[in-house]
Structure 1
Amino acid sequence: MATVELLFSALPEHVRTARLVAAAVARRAGVDEAVLDELRLAVGEACSRAVGLHISNGVTSPVRVVLIEDEKKFSIEVGDDAPGPSAAALTAARGAGGAPGSAQDDGGADGEDDMGLAVISGLVDDVEVSADESGGLIRMSWPTTPAHVLS
């Protein structure tokens, strides 16, 4: 299992770099070319959300992106260190069956967190969102196809 970890300052201009690195590693891992645009968009949304949470909460630690290549799937984890009830409320709403932006979801004062999670949920079949007082984590994964051996 190969792992790549990317840490970047919570600045919007670094989100593009995270998207490009994620797409390059996903391509190498065997993720289908047809879903790479969706993968880039999902990573961009997750990283933009983390950057926004860091900025709005005055968090100075870097945003974490972990790219994990397994035999059958490729996973991306985007972590933030932003505390607060909005992250916990998002997790509770999703655990109770409420989709981001639903009536059960009262996280995010302006709904931007909700919209980003809704976009991610629409793009990625296998996604998990978790959060607590120390921050949040979005885990996304895609199936991979085995590399063909050339003879």
Structure 2
Amino acid sequence: MATVELLFSALPEHVRTARLVAAAVARRAGVDEAVLDEVRLAVGEACSRAVGLHVSQEISSPVRVVLTEDEKKFSIEVADDAPHAISVAVATPGSAGTAPAADDAGGDGEDDMGLAVISGLVDDVEVSAGADGGLIRMSWPTTPASATP
């Protein structure tokens, strides 16, 4: 199981870098080429959400992105350190299009829209949030590398 960890300052310009790294690692992990745009967009939404939470709550710690590949799936975790007033845990494995529960971080609807976009793009997504921060876990199936003689 290979893992890449990316830490970046909560600045919008770093979201593009996270998207590019995620797409490169996903490609290497064996994610179908047709799905790479969805990976980029989902990572961009998750990272933009984390950056927005850090900026709005004046949190100086970095946004964390962990990219993990194994034999059957490629997973991405995007974590923020923003405290959420109540715990939220939503899992939508295999149910693309199911909108996650409302996030309590700002109540302005922007977070809800980003989470809805992510859940529409990713079949296997889990969103959790609590007093210590939030985490979005996403995964996509991989195609095993063909064995060379």
TM-score by shorter chain over 0.5: yes
Q: Provide the C-alpha distance between the structure 2 equivalents of 1:138 and 1:18, rounded to a whole number of angstroms.
A: 14
Residues 129 and 145 of structure 1: CA distance in aligned 2, closer, same or farther (over 3 Å) = same
Structure 2: stretches of 5+ with no match in the other structure = 92-97
- Residue 111 (structure 2) aligned to one of 113, 116, 120: 113
The count of residues paired between Structure 1 and Structure 2 equals 142
What CA distance in whole angstroms lies between the structure 1 residues aligned with 2:46 and 2:11?
13
Q: Structure 1 or 2: larger helix share?
A: 1
SS of residue matched to 1:28 = helix
Unaligned runs of 5+ in 1: none
Q: Distance in 2 between matches of 1:105 and 1:139?
A: 16
Report what 1:49 is aligned to.
49
1:147 alignment partner in structure 2: 145
Distance 2:30 2:55 in 1: 34
Three-state SS of the structure 2 residue aligned to 1:109 is coil
Report the alpha carbon displacement of residue 84 of structure 1 after superposing the two structures with TM.
2.6
The TM-score with structure 1 as length reference comes to 0.88
- 1:23 paired with 2:20, answer no
Q: Give the SS at the match of 2:50.
A: helix
Q: Match of 2:134? A: 136
Equivalent pair of 2:99/2:120 in contact (CA under 8 Å): no
Query: What letter corresponds to residue 81 of structure 2 in structure 1?
Result: D
Residue identity (%): 81
The two structures, once aligned, show a CA RMSD in angstroms of 1.6
| TM-fit CA distance, 1:106 | 6.5
Partner residue in 2 for 1:125: 123
TM superposition shift of 1:110:
1.1
- Poorly superposed stretches of 4+, deviation over 4 Å: none
**SS across alignment from 1:36:** helix
1:74 matched to 2:71 = no
